[in-house]
Structure 1
């Protein structure tokens, strides 16, 4: 208790009470935070309270705009600047869009991401000419603006013009604003911005989602919002990949397992001896590529002709293609054949571009299961 600064504590609590108990009916026209700032600043000036202010902590606010100066540019420094500049640009974009998403949730609207990033890019290009540094959309100020009635881009413009007016006209007065009052404003804003009533609901999500949420939340509190967003995005991406891979199935096909229509079903059709039909159901990416070979090993199958139905493969990446190429090479080395059935547009484009379709041969890429079985019979007859 000996270290407590009682005037600062009293001013902070008083400002907090003004903000919390300011009549809601008046808040639309005169926000409680403005009244708290006026009352707090007035108390400091009139009673000479021994509390820290903007002026005592940071010095006076310069009155007037800085002169325009073109910074020196050197091609020799360009290589050193590319990496940090790219990092700053990406993080600034993430934080600004996150601020916009927070505002969307508060006003039940949707922002224009392209407009946001283009405007920010122009501003960050011009700011260094006047001695400024790269800036982002700030969640705290955005939330404060929204909580006090801001709903359109005009609110942001008014905010900027107000700061300009303070610099040009009221800079000598702004130095008297007490930091204790500003802290009270930020406490209320941060509490309302947190939307704590959603916290318990989010914890009821599936366990993996809750882990991502708690990790991002903890990093925001303990380290930094930017770090939390980066780690959260990586964890969410890994979780998404796992879930997509879990939906993909690689199984042998027979009449009992069929759910396809007449042109693609094996029901009522004879699969020649020495022919085995498999199907891939779902995206065929690096998360599931190893399952193809694993499924074959488990089945202990070594057919003369391996028919792989791809009608339900919506997407294939480089790792999935590599798995198909490995399968093709292993079959060819054992004098066996691979027939692909009904690949969709994206997988077909990938196979054509890589040259894999040419290696397999157009005669071994069939449009339906009937054509594939007929092709298998031709291979068996010739071999």
Structure 2
């Protein structure tokens, strides 16, 4: 408990500031999810409190985020607004995240390549903007990205200019709010208040009546026809929430010069989302902007995240009637800013200078995110990135597999090799041998074998590990050498490599094993001299 109260003054300031910043975003994201503004507030309160209490990133502020809301909005459309099933998906997502934490999956989630992260984050930003464009023009567009895009011509043909002006004004205030005033009133909150006051003088759609008081309990529901939709959404929410949270944790680490606990963070996020679903709140994750605001305002420990949630609780208990007057156009303007902030502008500006493959992968993930779904986008992106990496490593491995006639670094070894007069061929493998290079190893060696050679030496001195595919390739090389009347020596293999070779019988009984390359060369020289004398 010592660390909880080690920075009380800074944590109170940071928590209050983060809570004020979170208020308009929670309302807007709740509306965008389809479940209403109070679901956004309940989610922000629950995830923010319990992720801070049990999580592994003390300074992190958690709550509803763009990626999570995009998934929830899609689920809302697919389930025709069945709130109980949606909250069930949120609960399941939380339980999956808890399982991720206990299974130690946090360290693997962070291995998603940056172009994939950039692509789906930019895609999510684009989706949020697309879904709000109809509301900016004064209409209520159909759910779904394709539906919202298809509806745009209709919205453009009948623009409500009062709504449009209110949305643009809100967006302008949120972006241009003076930094000096921002220390006291965040730009998003100022835009929310000013936009709502301005709407009193014009006729635009507002949120309407919002229930007050504490949330009610929502136990998990079950529906045979929708079970797969709910499970799929839960998995997507768990994965995206985990990635989003751990990326924010890295940002917090850089700012506070600390190191977060990935698996503990996932457990905390999971508990927060489970409680959020049980009280009728939307799913959340670590929120980068709110975390940065908290840290810059003095928040360092988990107390700041808990205070941020208490600020939202106070709003829930007393300010709901005021929130009912907020126009949809104002929330749409705030959400457009959220979408623009999620887009990875920093990478887009520099992408043309980097590797073309990475940029192409980012664009592919972006397209799949917007027009297919998030899980497909991330899955395809990770698989393609992994295959590209394996191919790159395979090329390096094959380049390392050199026929070394006269360029050994050790003088004694080099002299022995020269004395064999080309009758001994040495192939040196470099780095971990994997399935990526396995298909070409046999072909590469076969092409390099010269007529008149009597002994092949396979040097594994620089190979720390080997997989079964590579061992099978070695077996092919061994079989080819022995069938052509050549001797085959293996040298420098550590215990791990020897175990893999033995496990699939890659070492034939006629293969001779040596601990060092020098021993193998000495024996090879003796063998060639003996053969020459016979």
Give the 5 Å matches for 1:316-327: 316-327=466-477
In structure 2, what is the equivalent of residue 54 of structure 1? 207
In structure 2, what is the equivalent of residue 146 of structure 1? 292
Distance in 1 (alpha carbons) for counterparts of 2:415 and 2:423 = 16
- Equivalent residue for 2:194, pick from 35, 39, 49: 39
Task: Please give the per-residue CA displacement for 1:131-188, whole angstroms capped at 9, x wherever unaligned.
Answer: 567x3416xx533553685665555434433333333332333222222212222333
In structure 2, what is the equivalent of residue 25 of structure 1? 180
Bigger radius of gyration, 1 or 2? 1
Distance in 2 (alpha carbons) for counterparts of 1:307 and 1:200 = 51
Residues 208 and 348 of structure 1: is their aligned pair in 2 closer, same or farther, counting only changes over 3 Å?
same
Give the 5 Å matches for 1:1-383: 3-44=158-199, 46-47=200-201, 49-55=202-208, 60-61=210-211, 63-67=213-217, 69=219, 71=220, 89-101=238-250, 111-130=260-279, 135-137=283-285, 141-143=287-289, 146=292, 152=300, 156-194=305-343, 196-223=345-372, 225-248=374-397, 249=399, 250-255=401-406, 258-262=407-411, 264-265=413-414, 269-271=418-420, 274-301=423-450, 303-334=453-484, 336-344=486-494, 346-352=496-502, 354=503, 356=505, 359-360=507-508, 364-376=512-524, 381=530
- 1:307 to partner: Cα distance: 0.7
TM-score normalised by structure 1 residue count:
0.78
- 1:4 to partner: Cα distance: 1.0
- 1:63 to partner: Cα distance: 3.2
Residues 210 and 334 of structure 1: is their aligned pair in 2 closer, same or farther, counting only changes over 3 Å?
same
Query: Does the 8 Å CA contact 2:417/2:424 hold for their aligned counterparts?
Result: no
Which consecutive unaligned segments of at least 5 residues does structure 1 have?
none
Query: Does the 8 Å CA contact 2:425/2:455 hold for their aligned counterparts?
Result: yes
What is the aligned length? 368
Query: Does the 8 Å CA contact 1:61/1:167 hold for their aligned counterparts?
Result: no
- 1:27 to partner: Cα distance: 0.7
Identify the structure with the greater helix proportion.
2
CA RMSD in angstroms, aligned pairs only? 3.9
- 1:355 to partner: Cα distance: 5.7
Distance in 2 (alpha carbons) for counterparts of 1:88 and 1:266 = 63
Query: Does the 8 Å CA contact 2:424/2:456 hold for their aligned counterparts?
Result: yes
* Structure 1 residue matching 2:419: 3-state secondary structure: coil
- 1:371 to partner: Cα distance: 0.7
Which consecutive unaligned segments of at least 5 residues does structure 2 have?
1-155
Distance in 2 (alpha carbons) for counterparts of 1:30 and 1:117 = 32
* Structure 2 residue matching 1:287: 3-state secondary structure: helix
Structure with the larger RCO, 1 or 2 (CA within 8 Å, 6+ apart): 2
Task: Please give the per-residue CA displacement for 1:188-215, whole angstroms capped at 9, x wherever unaligned.
Answer: 3443444535422222002222222333
Distance in 2 (alpha carbons) for counterparts of 1:218 and 1:279 = 44
Task: Please give the per-residue CA displacement for 1:66-87, whole angstroms capped at 9, x wherever unaligned.
Answer: 2374x589xxxx9999888666
Distance in 2 (alpha carbons) for counterparts of 1:327 and 1:228 = 40
* Structure 2 residue matching 1:203: 3-state secondary structure: helix
